[in-house]
Amino acid sequence: MTKIFAYAIRDDEKPFLEEWKNAHKDIDVDYTEELLTPETAKLAKGADGVVVYQQLDYTPETLQALADAGVTKMSLRNVGVDNIDMDKAKELGFEITNVPVYSPDAIAEHAAIQAARILRQDKRMDEKMAKRDLRWAPTIGREVRDQVVGVIGTGHIGQVFMQIMEGFGAKVIAYDIFKNPELEKKGYYVDSLDDLYKQADVISLHVPDVPANVHMINDDSISKMKDDVVIINVSRGPLVDIDAVIRGLDSGKIFGYVMDTYEGEVGIFNEDWEGKEFPDKKLADLIDRPNVLVTPHTAFYTTHAVRNMVTKAFDNNLAMVEGKEPESPVKLDKD
C-alpha cells in the first residue's frame, strides 16, 4: 500500500488531513506534530513520500537523513522554497513540490482590512475606548476612497488587493518588472518605483524575497514617498529595512505601518511569550505603537487557505509517488 507521511501537522490542519484520508482510503497516511529534522527523518521510514511545512531550513543533513530513510519525494504545504538546500536536494535526486497559490484572497483581504484600520486610526480609538475616553478628536480618520494606493507586485495577491482597494473607491497604481498585459492595457502601471513612491498615499508590497528586493523599503525609498504614507508588508520580512521604518515612524513621515512579516520572525512568531522575556526589543516597540498593526505572519491563516494547503500538498505528493506530473513541481536548478 502507498504510504505518505506528514510532518508538523497542526491541530487546525487535522480536519482537512482527515478529509483527504477519507477520500483516499487506499493510501496509508500517517503524521507527526514534530518538524522535519535529521532526528525525526527516521519517522518517515517505509513511506513513499512526505508532506512538510516548517520555517526551519531543509539542511543538507536533514535531506540526507530523509534520503537515508528511503524518501526523496517531498511536498511543501507552503509557497517558499528558499530554505531548501537545492544543491543537496538535486544531488540526492529529490522531487519537490510546493503550493504556490492557496488563497490570494486571504492575504489580500488582510492587507486591505489592516490598511483601512490604519487610515481610520482604529488602534488609537480602541485604546481610547478601553479607557472610556469617548472624545472624537484628535483621532480623525482618512477615507480609503481619497487615497492613491500603490501596489508593488501584480501577481495573484497583488491583483486581488487592487480589486479590493478599487471596491473602496481608491485610485490604484502599480509597478512590476513583469507587467500583466491586461493591467497594462488598463493603464495601471507607472514607469518606475520612484513614480509610485511620489504618487501613492498607501504602498503595499506583493513581491518575493529575492536579492534584488531585499530592503527595497529603506531610508532612501522612504524619503521619496509622500508625507503621511501608509506602508503595508504582508509578503516577506526582508523586503523592509525595519530600522528605516522605525525612523520614518519617529519622524512622522510614515503615518502608519502594517506588518505581517518580519525579517527576524523565525523563532519568535507562532510562539506564546506571555509571562516570558520578549526576545526582540524592536518588535516589542512596533507592537506597542498606536499607528502600527502587527500580526505574526497570519495573513494567510484562514480555513479556506489551510484546506487548500493540505489538500494540494497531498495531491502533489500522491502524483509524484504514482509517477505522474504533479500540479506544482519545484525547479531544483538555480537560475
In a 3-state reduction of DSSP, which class is residue 227?
A: coil
Q: Distance (Å, rounded) from C-alpha 127 to C-alpha 115? A: 18
Q: Which residues contact 320 (CB under 8 A, 6 or more apart)?
A: 49, 73, 75, 95, 97, 326
38's grid cell: 535529521
**CB-based burial of residue 118 (10 Å sphere; 0-12 exposed, 13-18 middle, 19+ buried)?**
buried
- Nearest alpha-carbon partner for 77 in 127, 24, 134, 8: 8
Backbone angles phi, psi at 67, to 5 degrees: -65, -40
**CB-based burial of residue 241 (10 Å sphere; 0-12 exposed, 13-18 middle, 19+ buried)?**
buried
Q: Distance (Å, rounded) from C-alpha 164 to C-alpha 167? A: 5
- Nearest alpha-carbon partner for 60 in 44, 39, 84, 80: 84
Q: Distance (Å, rounded) from C-alpha 247 to C-alpha 321? A: 51
Choosing from 77, 110, 206, 236, which is the catalytic residue? 236
Based on the residue annotation, tell me whether 297 is a catalytic residue of this protein: yes
Q: What is the DSSP string of 179-190?
A: --HHHHHTT-B-
289's grid cell: 505603537
Amino acid at residue number 310:
V
Residue 267 gets which letter from DSSP?
Answer: T
Based on the residue annotation, tell me whether 265 is a catalytic residue of this protein: yes
Q: Does residue 239 contact residue 213 with C-beta atoms inside 8 Å? A: yes
Choosing from 13, 95, 263, 265, which is the catalytic residue? 265
Choosing from 77, 110, 142, 297, which is the catalytic residue? 297
Q: Does residue 7 contact residue 54 with C-beta atoms inside 8 Å? A: yes
Active site members:
236, 265, 297
